[in-house]
Amino acid sequence: MSTCTGTYCNAGWSEVLTSMSPYGWGSMGLAFGLSLSVIGAAWGIFLTGSSLVGAAVKSPRIRSKNLISVIFCEATAIYGVIMAIVLNGLMKKPEGGIEDGSFTDEWNWSAFYFAGYGVFSSGLSVGLTNVASGVAVGIAGSSCALADAQDSSLFVKILIVEIFASALGIFGIIVGIIQSNSCQFPYDVAA
Amino acid sequence: MTTPGSSYQPSTGGMETFNIAHGFVESLVRGMRNSFLSDSDYHHLTQCDNLEDCKMNLGETDFGPGLADESVLTPTVLQSAAISKLSTEFLYLRSQSVAPLSTFLDFITHEYMIDNIMLLLKGTMSGRDINDLISMAHPLGLFKESTMRSIPTFESNAKGYADLYQCVLVDTPVGVYFSKFLQETSQNLGSAGEVRNVLEELGAVVTQFSQYAPAWSVHTSGASKSIDDAFYERDVHQLELAFEGQMHFACFYAYVKLKEQEIRNLVWISECVLQNQKESINDFVPIFSQHAPWRVKNQRR
């Protein structure tokens, strides 16, 4: 492999990664955290909703009670929104440390990169767990509606299964918050 | 329905995607599953002294609205009311479904279409009126009026049947099934009796297969049940199992077949009430019964 000597050549992955703005990483983390959570919630809602409306044709009594399954799915999206707000609070526009449009040498680069990768990863933690949680709640909710239509004593039993599926998403948001706690973006040279 | 030439078949989907296209229809059929007559409904029906009592008892079940307009209840009226109810439900499911489920539901109707063709052919051979035959046809297997009227106009020989296939049946969904059959068996249409005779001869062989052995032992023990009943019972057991799992198509087929069994039960009970045959009135196969042999066995375990 020949050594690249041109102006536009990079010196391997370390240069590629350090050339990407930590603000970009942080914003992508926020975007993935929210969008994947919403995908999980939407997936769960159509799984539950289609079974719920069908089962309610012959047993209308289940329709209000089983909205709780839809609410469980919706909670998954709310986790994503909460996390997006938390992560957004960590990112601030720099107030100092910039001269002629670029960062000065006093800029806290290590904190800057730490925050960028941390926020990206915590967004991903929340997003991916919420996809899994949303699908799991959706499948359990769909079965819950069908079971309730046959025998109303099954509703509470399957609801417990749903609560456990919903807890998967809470694991994600807890870890995501802990992960992002120490990821404050520097906004001034002194900070 | 997909065109015969197209090889594209959308996936039915797994647990995560089945509900996108079929979730609503599946839960509809599961809602209808609730409408099967319960053990207590059957108990009340078998206690009836006349058909007026039967009608009153059925009034509280799902069959009530369909029978309300009938002034006099006979087994035939009951049967046609129940079949038309099944047909309405099935057509509702069909109208709500999309491919590949819609194709699957169409396949279920093919059996009735074949039955109707055989009914028309056999009926005209024995010289019955075409209008009577059309009114007897199963509503799930109907063709266009003109198609049904043209079926009996062909001659009853090999050439006639070949013409029948070429001119009429080839355009119907069940045409493919007839292409070979009609030419080969132009002389002996409908040999259900023969099948039964062959069965008798093969009884000893059947016992070698563990899944059919119980049905045969019912036959040989000489109990009040016939081998038909034993097979119906086995059918009901298998079809009930289709409702144990979610996100598949088997429950649609099982629903239609179990409803057929329920209609057979109703006809049997009403005939027994009409002829005052109280001793054999319980020889039917109840559906989702708590006293079914396979459930009782599991409870004991």
* pLDDT > 90 in chain A, percent: 72
Rg over alpha carbons for chain A, rounded to the nearest Å, is 23
CA distance B70 to chain A (A): 25
Cα→Cα distances B235→B26, B145, B223, B280, B285, Å: 21, 34, 19, 21, 10
Q: Could you tell me which chain B residue has the CA closest to the CA of A132? A: B16
Sign of CA dihedral A131, A137, A141, A142: positive
Contacts of A62 in chain B (CB under 8 A): none
Tokens in use for B245?
């799992």
Going by pLDDT thresholds of 50, 70 and 90, the confidence category of residue B277 is confident
Tokens in use for B10?
């959308």
Whether B232 contacts B285, CB under 8 Å: yes
For residue A1, what pLDDT is reported?
52
Contacts of A135 in chain B (CB under 8 A): 16
For residue B184, what pLDDT is reported?
62
CB contact under 8 A, B28 and A58: yes
More confident residue, B162 or B241: B241
| Cα–Cα distance, B147 to A80 (Å, whole number) | 60
Please check the confidence at residue B284 and state whether its pLDDT lies above 60.
Answer: yes
Tokens in use for A126?
């929340």
Condensed to tens digits (0 to 9), the pLDDT of residues A47-58 reads: 999 999 999 999
CB contact under 8 A, A58 and B34: yes
CB contact under 8 A, B27 and A139: no
Please spell the DSSP secondary structure of B18-77, one letter per residue.
HHHHHHHHHHHHHHHHTTSPPHHHHHHHHT-SSHHHHHHHHTTSTTHHHHTT-SS--HHH
Condensed to tens digits (0 to 9), the pLDDT of residues A61-89 reads: 998 999 999 999 999 999 999 999 999 99
Going by pLDDT thresholds of 50, 70 and 90, the confidence category of residue B2 is very low
A32-91+106-181 adopts what CATH topology? Four Helix Bundle (Hemerythrin (Met), subunit A) (1.20.120)
Q: Pick from B81, B111, B70: which is nearest to B263 by CA?
A: B81
Contacts of B25 in chain A (CB under 8 A): 54
CA distance A39 to chain B (A): 13
Q: Could you tell me which chain B residue has the CA closest to the CA of A56? A: B31
Whether A52 contacts A145, CB under 8 Å: yes
Contacts of A140 in chain B (CB under 8 A): none
CB contact under 8 A, A139 and B15: yes
User: Span A101-129, mean pLDDT?
Assistant: 91
| Cα–Cα distance, B50 to B55 (Å, whole number) | 9
Tell me the residues of A at the B interface, defined by beta carbons under 8 Å apart. Answer: 43, 46-47, 50-55, 57-59, 135, 138-139, 142-143, 145-146, 149-150
Tell me the residues of B at the A interface, defined by beta carbons under 8 Å apart. Answer: 15-16, 19-20, 23-28, 30-35, 246
CB contact under 8 A, A139 and B33: no
Contacts of A53 in chain B (CB under 8 A): 24, 27
Whether A189 contacts A96, CB under 8 Å: yes
| Cα–Cα distance, A72 to A159 (Å, whole number) | 10
CA distance A41 to chain B (A): 13
Contacts of B89 in chain A (CB under 8 A): none
Q: Which of B19, B92, B246, B251 to mutate to test the interface with A (most CBs of A within 10 A)?
A: B19
Condensed to tens digits (0 to 9), the pLDDT of residues B19-60 reads: 988 999 999 999 999 889 999 999 999 988 888 888 888 888
CB contact under 8 A, B31 and A139: no
CB contact under 8 A, B16 and A47: yes
Whether B82 contacts B36, CB under 8 Å: no
Please spell the DSSP secondary structure of chain A, one letter per residue.
-PPP-STT---SHHHHHHHS-HHHHHHHHHHHHHHHHHHHHHHHHHHHHHHHHHHHHH-TTHHHHTHHHHHHHHHHHHHHHHHHHHHHHH-----SSEETTEE-TTS-HHHHHHHHHHHHHHHHHHHHHHHHHHHHHHHHHHHHHHHHHH-TTHHHHHHHHHHHHHHHHHHHHHHHHHHHHT-PPP-SS--
Please check the confidence at residue A35 and state whether its pLDDT lies above 70.
Answer: yes
Residue B222: how many other CB atoms lie within 10 Å:
7
A13-17, B209-213, B263-267, B281-285: segment of lowest average pLDDT: B209-213
CA distance A44 to chain B (A): 9
Domain extents in chain A = 32-91+106-181
CB contact under 8 A, A54 and B33: no
Q: Which amino acid is at B74?
A: T
Q: Which amino acid is at A171?
A: F
How many pairs of residues across A and B have Cβ atoms under 8 Å apart?
Answer: 61
CA distance B33 to chain A (A): 9
CA distance B182 to chain A (A): 42
Whether A22 contacts A116, CB under 8 Å: yes
Query: What is the C-alpha end-to-end distance of chain B, expressed in Å?
Result: 46
Condensed to tens digits (0 to 9), the pLDDT of residues B157-211 reads: 777 777 888 788 888 888 877 776 665 655 555 455 555 566 567 666 766 777 7
Tokens 């799991």 found at: A136
Tokens 């520097």 found at: A186
CA distance A78 to chain B (A): 21
| Cα–Cα distance, B42 to B264 (Å, whole number) | 13
Contacts of B20 in chain A (CB under 8 A): 46, 50
Tokens 């997936």 found at: A43
Please check the confidence at residue B300 and state whether its pLDDT lies above 80.
Answer: no
